[in-house]
Amino acid sequence: MVDSQTQFARLVVVGVGLIGGSIALAAKTRGIAKEVFGIGRNQERLAAAKERGVIDFYVTELSELSTADLVVICTPVNRIAKDVITALDALPADCLVTDAGSIKESLVHAVEEAQPENGRFLGAHPLAGSHQTGFENADPALYNGRLCVVTPTSTTHPNTVERVEGFWKALGMRVERMSPAEHDRVLAMTSHLPHLAASALAGLVDEEMLSFAASGFRDTTRVAAGDPDLWTAIFSENSRQVVDVTQLLIDKLQLLCDAISSGDQHALRQHLAEAQTLRRRFDQIHSM
Amino acid sequence: MVDSQTQFARLVVVGVGLIGGSIALAAKTRGIAKEVFGIGRNQERLAAAKERGVIDFYVTELSELSTADLVVICTPVNRIAKDVITALDALPADCLVTDAGSIKESLVHAVEEAQPENGRFLGAHPLAGSHQTGFENADPALYNGRLCVVTPTSTTHPNTVERVEGFWKALGMRVERMSPAEHDRVLAMTSHLPHLAASALAGLVDEEMLSFAASGFRDTTRVAAGDPDLWTAIFSENSRQVVDVTQLLIDKLQLLCDAISSGDQHALRQHLAEAQTLRRRFDQIHSM
Q: Chunked in runs of 10, what are the mean pLDDT values of chain A (288 residues)?
A: 73 97 96 96 96 96 93 96 96 95 96 93 90 89 94 96 97 97 97 98 96 93 94 96 98 98 98 97 87
Q: How far apart are CA A228 and CA A196, in angstroms?
A: 11
Task: Please name the residues in contact with A58: beta carbons below 8 A apart, sequence gap of 6 or more.
Answer: A16, A37, A38, A39, A40, A43, A46, A47, A49, A50
Q: Which residue of B has its CA nearest to A253?
A: B200
Q: What percent of chain B has pLDDT over 70?
A: 97
Chain B residues within 8 A of A257 when measuring between CB atoms: 242-243, 246-247, 250
Out of 1.25.40.10, 3.10.580.10, 3.40.50.1970, 1.10.3660.10, select the CATH number for domain B183-287: 1.10.3660.10
Rounded to 10 deg, the angle between the B193-204 and A265-287 helix axes is 70
pLDDT of residue B117 exceeding 90 = no
Domain boundaries, chain B: 4-178, 183-287
Task: Judge: B189–A209 Cβ closer than 8 Å, yes or no.
Answer: yes
pLDDT of residue A2: 58
* 3-class state of residue A178 by DSSP: coil
pLDDT of residue B286: 86
The predicted model scores a pTM of: 0.89
- Over range B238-257, report the average pLDDT: 98
Q: Which residue of A has its CA nearest to B182?
A: A209
pLDDT of residue A128: 83
DSSP A133: -
Q: Which residue of A has its CA nearest to B125?
A: A212
**Structural class in CATH, domain A4-178:** alpha beta
Task: Judge: B279–A222 Cβ closer than 8 Å, yes or no.
Answer: yes
Query: Residue B4 — pLDDT band, cuts 50, 70, 90?
Result: low
pLDDT of residue A96: 97
The ipTM (two decimal places) reads 0.89
Instruction: Select from B146, B205, B279 the Cβ nearest to the Cβ of A190.
Output: B205
User: What burial class does residue A164 get, using C-beta atoms within 10 Å of its C-beta: 0-12 exposed, 13-18 middle, 19+ buried?
Assistant: buried
At position A47, the amino acid (one-letter code) is A
pLDDT of residue B154: 95
Judge contact between B176 and B147, C-beta under 8 A.
Answer: yes
Reported as a single tens digit per residue, the pLDDT across B69-86 is: 999 999 999 999 999 999
Q: How far apart are CA B195 and CA A219, in angstroms?
A: 10
Instruction: Select from A222, A278, A286 the Cβ nearest to the Cβ of B207.
Output: A278
Task: Judge: A269–B186 Cβ closer than 8 Å, yes or no.
Answer: no
pLDDT of residue B75: 95
* Strands B147-150 and B124-126, bridge-based pairing: antiparallel
pLDDT of residue B288: 59
